[in-house]
Amino acid sequence: MATLEVVERKSTCVLDCPDTCSLTVTVEDGRVVKLDGSRDNEITAGYICGKVRHFTELVYGEDRVRYPAVRSGPKGSGQFRRATWDEALDIVVQRLQAIRHEHGGEAILPLCYGGSNGWLTHGPLDLRLFHRLGASRLARTLCAAATAAASTGLYGKMPGVAYDDYPQARLIIVWGCNPAVSGIHLVPYLRRAKENGAKLVVVDPRRTPLARQADLHLAVRPGTDLPVALSMINGLFESGRADLGFLSAHARNTEALRDRARAWSYGRAADVAGVAAADIERLTRLYADSTPAVVRCGWGIERNRNGGSAVAAVLALPAVAGKFGVRGGGFTMSNSFAWDMDPAAAACEPPPATRLINMNRVGEALAPGFAPPIRALFVYDCNPLATLPAQTKVRAGLAREDLFTIVHEQVLTDTARYADVLLPATTFLEHNELKRSYGAISLEWIDPVIEPVGEARPNYWLFAELCRRLGVARPGEPETPAELMRAIVATSRDGARIAADLERTGRAAPACGDRPVLFVDVFPATPDRKIDLCPAALDREAPAGLYGYTADPATGAFPLSLISPSTSDAISSTLYQRVRKQVPVGIHPADAAARGVADGDPVRVFNGAGEVRCVAEINDELRPGVAMLPKGLWAKHTANGQTANALAPDTLTDLGAGACFNDARVEIRPV
């Protein structure tokens, strides 16, 4: 009798989550039977989230895409016939060549985002293909566009405070971030800080799990962080608590920030944000009095018309109050800024000057009248129907008979159902990956732990193959995972050491180490190493000028703010196939009563752009005037197949041209 081979293999989670957990994967006869946290990465501390513990349901589930397939029914029907890779790629090559020949390369649009957060699945070979085809370029703005514009505008690419240093802080402000769901490994450090006597403040329209334990919770109206932060800055200057010594040594344009903040008294900010002026004042005093103090700046702040300026104002706070220079002091935004590699530059020449299409406007770009039209859409690492704003327009675009759509996917998503050619993608358990985390500060080399399921193939295989078949490959270019890794790492100033560390241990720390003290170990990556508190480029970009506030888009007809934050069931849309029941819209008791809506009632959530039919869930954790549907829902999660994204406008943030998901304004009525 054959004995069962059971082995434990190391891996690292590559999903779009700040934590980048180190994993122990149990493999029985070539099949993954268990995923759990390991201690290779200290932050993981031996535990992982429930989503990834159930990852085998994605890998082996009924929705897994196992074979190449060609559409055999109407667009969107999800009806396919199985094909061989050769046949599927022949069709792709023939159609892309014909479209390029007849309409030019710009008629092709790649559409990708964060499905895998690794550098081998996005960056090198896909861009090699699309650049050389002269395809339209994609502005990858679905997330972190405003935060990146603001934080790099002020600080250049500077990493922030490491999770491990939070227990040193006396005050922690969790601002527009819900780590209990979206980055669970920060939570034990917050608990330790509290045990050490730290105060916790949460700024969030919802009473999140952390807000419940906070010393102060500012339940601001969505989109009003900018006035709150500016009034704190004004208060610090007015009360003589601004650190003028630090500012004159380390910052530029302090006066411009101070001038703009002057317009915001505590009272005026409190009126706009719907909180008590005394609470903002108390927070300012607490902040001035506490050292070390750290702000965990989240992505909840950015997803509205004021998002860029709001993030800039929040990140200016530690400069104004002089909170840098000590362990546990400053801010944490995206710690991916610890790395200086450029995966695109590693594999191909600079991008051609073809048109740039903002992914938040893909619905428009696929609509009639957009010229010259897009005729081929190549979707990978992305589920646009579930995650892009203006869902109704996106769906209409995908349904176009004259659009040739290729989808490279792991599971049969809502988007994949619209494919003309569907190609099976491997998961990170089945391919190599190079992943830098954006919460913890680390870079990991990841080996596959199992053979590909079915005929699934990694992105790097697919794009190398297409480069060859479309005649744009050049001999001697990096192409295998190991070659790509070396080429990517070589674009870093510290490349030789990082490559050696990766090859020896599978992980590497950046030059500044994995627990940098801000303004001791790292400085702003700006030309003069100073903070620019009012960069001219950002000031020109923002329609109301940097730090200029734009009023709430609510109208009498659509008075409620619909927010759509992350939940513990999924990473964006990934793993939502596991949730088989419908998902309710959260509504505050007062808003429900005013509309005659009771818990569990069927309702319509609607505005001029769309309508979601679902049931109501009375939720007193929301502030009045705010309703909630999770981000990333699939069509099956509502009664009519529309989700929060059908109600989200395709307007853009003031900086970075990012998505304004939380600017959705709606009405809710019983049906």
Ligand X SMILES: Nc1nc2c(c(=O)[nH]1)N[C@H]1C(S)=C(S)[C@@H](COP(=O)(O)OP(=O)(O)OC[C@H]3O[C@@H](n4cnc5c(=O)[nH]c(N)nc54)[C@H](O)[C@@H]3O)O[C@H]1N2
Applying CB under 5 A, the residues found at the interface with Mo ion are: 143
Of the candidates 52, 92, 315, 646, which one interacts with ligand SF4 according to CB under 6 A? Answer: 52
Q: Which is nearer to ligand X, 104 or 274 (CB)?
A: 274
Site map (CB under 6 A) of ligand SF4, residues 168-207, x = contact: ----------------x-----------------------
- To the nearest whole angstrom, how small is the minimum distance from the Cβ of residue 664 to Mo ion? 17
- Residue 178 is a binding residue for ligand X (CB under 6 A): yes
- Map residue 278 onto helix, strand or coil: helix
What does 13 bind: ligand SF4, Mo ion, ligand X, none (CB cut-off 5 to 8 Å by kind)?
ligand SF4
Per CB under 6 A, which of residues 92..121 are in contact with ligand X?
113-116, 121
Of the candidates 571, 597, 603, 627, which one interacts with ligand SF4 according to CB under 6 A? Answer: 571
Task: Judge whether 658 and 312 are in contact, CB under 8 Å.
Answer: no
Q: Among 441, 431, 527, 435, which residue's Cα sits nearest to residue 489?
A: 435
Of the candidates 360, 432, 573, 607, which one interacts with ligand X according to CB under 6 A? Answer: 573
Q: How far apart are CA 20 and CA 179, in angstroms?
A: 14
Q: At what angle do helices 225-238 and 307-320 cross, to 10 degrees?
A: 20
- Residue 51 is a binding residue for ligand SF4 (CB under 6 A): yes
Is cis: bond before 565, omega within 30 of 0?
no
Q: Among 62, 16, 15, 64, which residue's Cα sits nearest to residue 35?
A: 15
Which amino acid type is present at position 125?
L
Of the candidates 252, 303, 305, 637, which one interacts with ligand X according to CB under 6 A? Answer: 303
Q: Which is nearer to ligand X, 327 or 395 (CB)?
A: 395
User: Residue 392 class from Cβ within 10 Å (0-12 exposed, 13-18 middle, 19+ buried)?
Assistant: middle
Q: How far apart are CA 476 and CA 479, in angstroms?
A: 9
Q: How far apart are CA 308 and CA 542, in angstroms?
A: 8
Q: Which is nearer to ligand SF4, 185 or 260 (CB)?
A: 185
Number of helical H runs and strand E runs in the chain: 24, 27
What does 168 bind: ligand SF4, ligand X, Mo ion, none (CB cut-off 5 to 8 Å by kind)?
none
- To the nearest whole angstrom, how small is the minimum distance from the Cβ of residue 118 to ligand SF4? 12
Per CB under 6 A, which of residues 11..50 are in contact with ligand SF4?
13, 15, 17, 19-21, 48-49
- To the nearest whole angstrom, how small is the minimum distance from the Cβ of residue 209 to ligand X? 9
Cα separations in angstroms, 164 against 41, 273, 324, 517, 520? 12, 32, 16, 12, 17
Q: Which is nearer to ligand X, 265 or 572 (CB)?
A: 572
Q: Among 200, 464, 511, 226, which residue's Cα sits nearest to residue 341?
A: 511
What does 52 bind: ligand SF4, Mo ion, ligand X, none (CB cut-off 5 to 8 Å by kind)?
ligand SF4
- Map residue 7 onto helix, strand or coil: strand
Task: Judge whether 614 and 605 are in contact, CB under 8 Å.
Answer: yes
**165 Cβ contact list (under 8 Å, min separation 6):** 294, 327, 328, 515, 517
- Map residue 225 onto helix, strand or coil: helix
Q: Where are the alpha helices (DSSP H) in 334-440?
A: 343-347, 362-365, 384-387, 391-398
- To the nearest whole angstrom, how small is the minimum distance from the Cβ of residue 501 to ligand SF4? 21
| Residue 31: φ, ψ to 5° | -120, 135
Of the candidates 11, 13, 17, 24, which one interacts with ligand X according to CB under 6 A? Answer: 17
DSSP, res 361:
G
- To the nearest whole angstrom, how small is the minimum distance from the Cβ of residue 504 to ligand X? 26
Element (H, E) at 611: strand 611-618
- To the nearest whole angstrom, how small is the minimum distance from the Cβ of residue 1 to ligand X? 38
- To the nearest whole angstrom, how small is the minimum distance from the Cβ of residue 360 to Mo ion? 13
Q: How far apart are CA 127 and CA 132, in angstroms?
A: 8
Of the candidates 12, 20, 182, 653, which one interacts with ligand X according to CB under 6 A? Answer: 182
What does 591 bind: ligand SF4, ligand X, Mo ion, none (CB cut-off 5 to 8 Å by kind)?
none
Q: Which is nearer to Mo ion, 143 or 295 (CB)?
A: 143
- Residue 568 is a binding residue for ligand X (CB under 6 A): yes
Cα separations in angstroms, 69 against 82, 83, 368, 385? 4, 5, 28, 20
The token pair at 152 is 């790099």
Of the candidates 21, 99, 129, 143, which one interacts with ligand X according to CB under 6 A? Answer: 143
Of the candidates 201, 226, 301, 508, which one interacts with ligand X according to CB under 6 A? Answer: 301
Q: Which is nearer to Mo ion, 109 or 177 (CB)?
A: 177
What does 301 bind: ligand X, ligand SF4, Mo ion, none (CB cut-off 5 to 8 Å by kind)?
ligand X
What does 648 bind: ligand SF4, ligand X, Mo ion, none (CB cut-off 5 to 8 Å by kind)?
ligand X
- Map residue 185 onto helix, strand or coil: helix
Interface size with ligand SF4, residues (CB under 6 A): 12
CA angle 316, 320, 322 (to 5 degrees): 115
Of the candidates 198, 498, 571, 616, which one interacts with ligand X according to CB under 6 A? Answer: 571
Per CB under 6 A, which of residues 631..650 are in contact with ligand X?
631-632, 644-645, 648
- To the nearest whole angstrom, how small is the minimum distance from the Cβ of residue 184 to ligand X? 8
- To the nearest whole angstrom, how small is the minimum distance from the Cβ of residue 444 to ligand SF4? 11
**What does the binding site for ligand SF4 look like in residue numbers (CB under 6 A)?**
13, 15, 17, 19-21, 48-49, 51-52, 184, 571
**What does the binding site for ligand X look like in residue numbers (CB under 6 A)?**
16-17, 113-116, 121, 142-143, 175-178, 181-183, 203-206, 208, 220, 222-223, 225, 298-301, 303-304, 380-383, 387, 408-411, 413, 425, 459, 563-566, 568, 570-574, 631-632, 644-645, 648, 661-662
